[in-house]
Amino acid sequence: KAGVTQTPRYLIKTRGQQVTLSCSPISGHRSVSWYQQTPGQGLQFLFEYFSETQRNKGNFPGRFSGRQFSNSRSEMNVSTLELGDSALYLCASSVGQGSYEQYFGPGTRLTVT
């Protein structure tokens, strides 16, 4: 069974631009969570989607948004990029709602210049 895939793996953007990252969960997994990982703050929860609905959201500004499609694939969008948004963005999938055995993708490394 294929693992969680994320595209693109690397991205360079300039301040003020917006970016969309994509995540394909493991087949049969319906829950997708997004995390931001930085050296200073570590792994921080962004949001979780289940059956195309946002179930939970972390403490991030409204510039960070996401969605989930009927095939469970998910995208996250960051608008008006700031230098501090440079990070590794990780997607994790799990079987269903309330299941915390999450499987992570390799992440998308975003650099904002």
Partner 1 sequence: GESVGLHLPTLSVQEGDNSIINCAYSNSASDYFIWYKQESGKGPQFIIDIRSNMDKRQGQRVTVLLNKTVKHLSLQIAATQPGDSAVYFCAENAWRDDKIIFGKGTRLHILP
Locate 86 and state its tokens: 């440079």
Q: 83: which DSSP letter?
A: G
Q: Using the minimum distance from each CB to partner 1, give the nearer residue, 37 or 79.
A: 37
Q: Using the minimum distance from each CB to partner 1, give the nearer residue, 62 or 98.
A: 98
Question: CA-CA-CA-CA torsion for 82, 38, 113, 79, nearest 10 degrees?
Answer: -30
Q: Using the minimum distance from each CB to partner 1, give the nearer residue, 14 or 38.
A: 38
How many other β-carbons are positioned within 10 Å of the β-carbon of residue 47? 21
State the minimum distance, in angstroms, from the CB of residue 90 to partner 1: 5
Q: Which residues bind partner 1 (CB under 8 A)?
A: 4, 33, 35, 42-45, 48, 55-56, 58, 90, 92, 98, 100-107
State the minimum distance, in angstroms, from the CB of residue 97 to partner 1: 9
Please report where in the chains the tokens 């994320």 appear, as a residue: 6
